[in-house]
Amino acid sequence: MALRLTLAACSSIHRFVLSAFLVGSVLVAQAQTTDDQESYETQKRLSVGVTKYAEARATLTGFIRSRATRVQKQEETPEQLTAEFSLPTRELSRLDSLTATLGYVLENNLNARNLAPRLQELRTLEQAEATQLARAETRLRDPKLTKQEREDEQESVARHETRLQQLRQQQQQLISHQGQAHVTLRLFDEISFPTGNRRVSFVNMPGVEYAYLRLDNPKLGLTSPAYQGYAIKYLFTRGKSYFNLGVYKPTTTNKTDSAFVNELFVINFGQDFYPRNFGRGRRRYLNLYTSYQVGGFILNRNDDQKNDFIPNLNLGLGVELIKTRHILLDTKASYFVPLNSRSRDLRGLLGQASFNFVF
């Protein structure tokens, strides 16, 4: 029994030590990577989405292999490539031109700074450390030192020598990285990562929408040939995701038939998607997109009988006429499909135009 407890305790201690070692190794590696980046005057971050991932990956890995002065990290999966490497600054324009031909550049950030003050600071620290080392070595040669004092001075000399070596290595690192840039590159397959990342960018863009619904099979005495109306459209992501809430009225009034549909109260959730080859929604005008809307509507009649809630689905195609950081004007055409037994009487072509603004 005692043996089993001892073995279990040893096993737990072993696991703890191993875990601590792995965590420490990761933290040290991260710190070394950060320090290495800080030793470059120029730092660049690139994120590129492509539709032909295999070809783009081969092109970029060939570029890195032939032009990078040093590769710090390169990781590949079937969906993406991430790499960190050093590149002569004169090659940055060539890298920009290459990535622009491969696909859509989602991120291209360049940071440049002057490291001359940091180099001068390291030289000053080196001189101060060398002076302290010389003083410690002088004290160590004093024959009157006790054994404890001599051990303390020896430790002091070792500390100063280690610190002096670190300062010289940092200076050498800054000097060796002059004229080079640290590049962090991410290449991803747009089929696997359609937006380039999994973050959602929220916005607050209320607006108004006009809608015109032309029915395919209007039924005499029951429905009007067309309905039109206005809605509140609230856009809440740049995706674009939105809600709309509105009322459609018949274009032809009928007050004699009690079952005539005199109003559609519409509640929908919708999303728009940009194609990869027509601007991806980044242009200021004429951005093409596809869309869907799901929700439902309350059907009201003249006699207020059988005012049912009917689910519906719309699939459509739209164009953003004007798009800036603060306003959005777009139009779309979709097919309005009620999901119930009355679908034949109420389905039709729906045209919508909306205006939204940042609030």
Are both 230 and 255 inside the same structural domain? Answer: yes
Please choose, from the candidates 316, 305, 318, 312, the residue with its C-alpha nearest in 3D space to the C-alpha of residue 346.
312
**Boundary residue ending a domain (190, 225, 253):** 190
**What CA–CA distance (Å, rounded) separates 8 from 1?**
11
Q: Is residue 297 part of a domain?
A: yes
Q: Is residue 25 part of a domain?
A: no
333 SS3 class: strand
Are both 101 and 121 inside the same structural domain? Answer: yes
> Any idea what DSSP says for residue 198?
S
Are both 152 and 293 inside the same structural domain? Answer: no
- Which helix (H) or strand (E) is 279 found in, with range? none
| Signed CA dihedral, 135, 137, 143, 145: sign only | positive
Q: Is residue 244 part of a domain?
A: yes
**What CA–CA distance (Å, rounded) separates 207 from 186?**
37
| Signed CA dihedral, 149, 155, 161, 163: sign only | negative
Pinpoint the alpha helices (H) of 85-211.
Answer: 92-102, 116-140, 147-176
What is the per-residue DSSP string for 78-121? SSEEEEEEEEEGGGHHHHHHHHHHHSEEEEEEEEE---HHHHHH
Are both 274 and 326 inside the same structural domain? Answer: yes
- Using CB atoms within 10 Å of the CB of residue 324, give its burial: 0 to 12 exposed, 13 to 18 middle, 19+ buried: exposed
Q: How far is CA 139 from the centre of its chain?
A: 59
Q: Is residue 11 part of a domain?
A: no
Q: Is residue 52 part of a domain?
A: yes
Question: Is the separation of the CB atoms in 285 and 266 below 8 Å?
Answer: no
**What CA–CA distance (Å, rounded) separates 248 from 213?**
8
Are both 58 and 172 inside the same structural domain? Answer: yes
CATH number at residue 257: 2.40.160.20
Give strand pairing partners of 180.
88
Identity at 255, one-letter amino acid code: K
Q: Is residue 5 part of a domain?
A: no
Q: Extract the tokens encoding 169.
A: 């290595």
Tens of pLDDT, residue by residue, the chain (359 residues): 443 434 344 444 444 434 444 434 433 344 444 557 778 888 999 999 887 889 999 999 999 999 999 999 999 988 889 999 999 999 999 999 999 898 888 889 999 888 777 778 878 888 888 888 888 888 888 888 888 888 888 898 889 888 888 888 887 877 777 888 999 999 988 765 544 444 556 788 999 999 999 999 998 888 999 999 999 999 988 778 999 999 999 999 888 888 899 999 999 999 998 886 676 777 888 889 999 999 999 989 888 777 788 999 999 999 999 998 889 999 999 999 999 887 888 999 999 999 999 88
Range of the domain at 51: 38-190
Q: Is residue 15 part of a domain?
A: no
Is the pTM of the predicted complex or chain greater than 0.85? Answer: no
DSSP E strands, the chain: 42-50, 70-76, 80-88, 104-112, 180-189, 202-215, 226-237, 241-250, 261-273, 287-301, 309-323, 327-338, 348-357
**Boundary residue ending a domain (161, 190, 219):** 190
Are both 135 and 242 inside the same structural domain? Answer: no
Are both 146 and 213 inside the same structural domain? Answer: no
104-112 and 287-301 as β-strands: parallel, antiparallel, unpaired? unpaired
- Using CB atoms within 10 Å of the CB of residue 137, give its burial: 0 to 12 exposed, 13 to 18 middle, 19+ buried: middle
Please choose, from the candidates 32, 40, 185, 37, the residue with its C-alpha nearest in 3D space to the C-alpha of residue 112.
40
Are both 149 and 295 inside the same structural domain? Answer: no
Are both 169 and 261 inside the same structural domain? Answer: no
Question: Is the separation of the CB atoms in 342 and 319 below 8 Å?
Answer: no
Are both 171 and 276 inside the same structural domain? Answer: no
**Boundary residue ending a domain (190, 212, 247):** 190
Question: Is the separation of the CB atoms in 173 and 39 below 8 Å?
Answer: yes
Are both 51 and 158 inside the same structural domain? Answer: yes
Per the listing, tokens 């999901």 go with 339
Q: Is residue 298 part of a domain?
A: yes
Give how many domains the chain has, as a whole number: 2
**Euclidean distance between the first and final Cα of the chain, in Å?**
71
Are both 243 and 325 inside the same structural domain? Answer: yes
